[in-house]
Structure 1
């Protein structure tokens, strides 16, 4: 499968691992990485999000985990071929049984969000078979540092449910980005950021395309340090 080239790194892809997509690019470009020293990515896939975050924060160290052997091998390859390889590590690990004494300043995930179904496409990456929202939230709340951030991208339709479940686990919504696929359409995705401290919510909107197959100025500005193309 053809690789995906960014300005400072390249992503090798595989038909067995969830490919580079807009959700991952948005989370990698928008997650609050600036004050983080110790970052955990849950479900690395190709390693895209960690690589983008490593480009944005030149001091942070990263640990990526995935339950899929093929994803772990692919992430390892992409990490080792990058300029940031000394700060990037990944392991084969089920997040539900992950044990560590470390606390993380940022836990980031583009989690599976479809209920189990008959589709055979990207089962572990797309369907909540191995990791559901409750397991992700509960475990993340225990691994965050005192000032840490838990950052996810999820479908708009499950946003209220996710936010309420996070609150039940003492994770408070601090930041909410409403993602519109195209201008004047319905909200498609949410980037949600939580912390252990209840703060004033910062909410904003983000538009991917201003017309079909025509990226918005907002998207082009956000990704200008990553994507090879320009306006």
Structure 2
């Protein structure tokens, strides 16, 4: 499988690990990493999101977790091959069992979101087998620093449930980005950000394509420091 090339780094890919996709790119470009010193990514896959965030914040240190050995090895290689490698570390770990004496300023995840089924395609990466939403949220609430942010991208139809579960763990919705695949279509994904402090919710809408296979100016502007293409 061909590597996916970005402007400042390259992502090696594997048929055993969920590939580079729009969801990961969107979260890597939108997650609020500006004031973070310590970042935790839950479920690294290829390591794409951490690498994008490392490019956006040149002082933050990153720890990536993935339960899959294939994903752990692929992330390790992609981290080591990048110019940000001194600030990137990853371990093979079940997030439910992960412990840390230090808190994180940003916890970010593109979590599994299909209920368990008979499909073998991307079984761990895309289905809620190893980590369900409540397990992810409850653990994140414990590991988040006082002023930290918990940032995820999920399908729009399960956003209300996710927000409700987060509220049960004293995580308040701070930001909501509704992502549409194309103009005048239904919201496809949500980037949701939570904090331990209740604030006025910041809401926005993001459109990926202005017509089929033609990126919107909004998307081109957001990803201009990453993707190798022009308007």
Which category describes the TM-score, using the shorter chain as reference length?
Answer: over 0.9
CA distance in 1, matches of 2:49, 2:100: 22
- The CA deviation at 1:141 is 0.1
- The CA deviation at 1:174 is 0.4
Q: Does 1:196 align with 2:196?
A: yes
Q: TM-score when scaled to structure 2?
A: 1.00
CA distance in 2, matches of 1:222, 1:34: 15
- In structure 2, what is the equivalent of residue 230 of structure 1? 230
- In structure 2, what is the equivalent of residue 69 of structure 1? 69
CA distance in 2, matches of 1:77, 1:16: 15
CA distance in 2, matches of 1:44, 1:96: 15
Over aligned residue pairs, what C-alpha RMSD do you find?
A: 0.3
- Deviations along 1:53-75, whole A, 9 cap, x unmatched? 00000000000000000000000
- The CA deviation at 1:38 is 0.2
- In structure 2, what is the equivalent of residue 10 of structure 1? 10
- In structure 1, what is the equivalent of residue 164 of structure 2? 164
CA distance in 2, matches of 1:60, 1:208: 28
Structure 1 segment 1-231 matched on structure 2, within 5 A: 1-231=1-231
- Deviations along 1:68-112, whole A, 9 cap, x unmatched? 000000000000000000000000000000011110000000000
In structure 2, the residue corresponding to 1:52 is in which secondary structure? helix
- Deviations along 1:120-148, whole A, 9 cap, x unmatched? 11000000000000000000000000000
In structure 1, the residue corresponding to 2:35 is in which secondary structure? coil
- The CA deviation at 1:119 is 1.1
Matched residue count = 231
CA distance in 2, matches of 1:20, 1:119: 20
CA distance in 1, matches of 2:62, 2:24: 16
